A = this chain, B = another copy of it.
Amino acid sequence: MARRLLTNPRKQARQSRSRATVDALIEATARILVREGFDQASTNRIAEQAGVSIGSLYQYFPGKDALVAAVIDRHREQLGKVVRTALAKATGQPLEQAVRTLIVAAIDAHAIDPKLHRVLAEQIPRTGRLEQVETFSRENYALFAAFLEQHSDELRVADLELASFMFVTTVEALTHSAVLHRPAMLREPAAMNRLVEETTRLIVGYLRQAGGRRT
């Protein structure tokens, strides 16, 4: 018996009253995820926390996964905005500065709501929302590949797709890890600056010589 994996809203909220209900449910889900973890987030618990009856919850969401998916979407929209803004800013900047811009943006994005980000990063794979997140990643790769292409004369990169993979994966991991496991690093401006500079050097050094090694 396959588990139900519906993540789409059950019906649309038309009146402002019901939109408030939906918002309260999503907000409650996020709060419980952060404060008590995925396991404690039962539908009954979420409804209670939202000050909404369990019946109303099921009017708009087919189940727990849909609630979590909604939280993910909301969070990802914020991340996407930061990334897109940074990419716009980076366009036209010289390579090194552009890379630095993107790295700072990555840190900012992770710092939006670190606790929620952590829980989501851990739980996303279990919500059936995984494919969409990977789609999100693919889009990121495409965007970054386009960005790299602007500087292709400086790079002469052999495999642009691979370079994008290296770029995105590395920056994501470093910022993610720093934000989640080294919070002290980001509170101290000097340490944070060192992280940014080291990461920039790592990436720029790689990009500058990438593909340029033909015996």
Query: Does A170 interact with chain B (Cβ within 8 Å)?
Result: yes
| With A126-B39, A201-B206, A201-B213 as contacts: A169 and B174 at CB distance below 8 Å | yes
- Give A residues with C-beta under 8 Å from B: 3, 37-40, 118, 122-123, 125-126, 134, 159, 162-163, 165-166, 169-170, 172-174, 177, 181-182, 194-195, 198-199, 201-202, 205-206, 209-210, 213
CB-CB under 8 A from A3, the residues of chain B are: 39-40
Leading 4 A-B pairs by shortest Cβ distance = A173-B173, A205-B205, A202-B206, A169-B177
Partner of A170, one of B173, B210, B213: B173
B198 and A166 within 8 A (CB)? yes
Contact of A166 with B202 at beta-carbon distance under 8 Å, contacts A159-B194, A181-B134, A194-B159 already known: yes
Count of identical protomers in the assembly = 2
Query: Is the CB–CB distance between A202 and B170 below 8 Å?
Result: yes
Do B39 and A162 touch across chains, with their CB atoms under 8 A apart?
no
Q: A38-B126, A201-B210, A201-B213 provided; 7 other pairs, C-beta below 8 A?
A: A3-B39, A3-B40, A166-B174, A172-B173, A173-B174, A202-B202, A205-B209
Beyond A122-B122, A134-B181, A177-B169, whether A194 also contacts B37 by CB under 8 A is no
In the complex the two chains form, what is the Cα distance from A167 to B169 in whole Å?
13
| Structural contact, B126 and A162, CB atoms closer than 8 A | no
Q: From residue A154, how far is it (CB to closest CB) to chain B in Å? A: 15
A81 to B165, CA, bound (A): 28
Q: Which residue of B lies closest to A123 (CB)?
A: B122
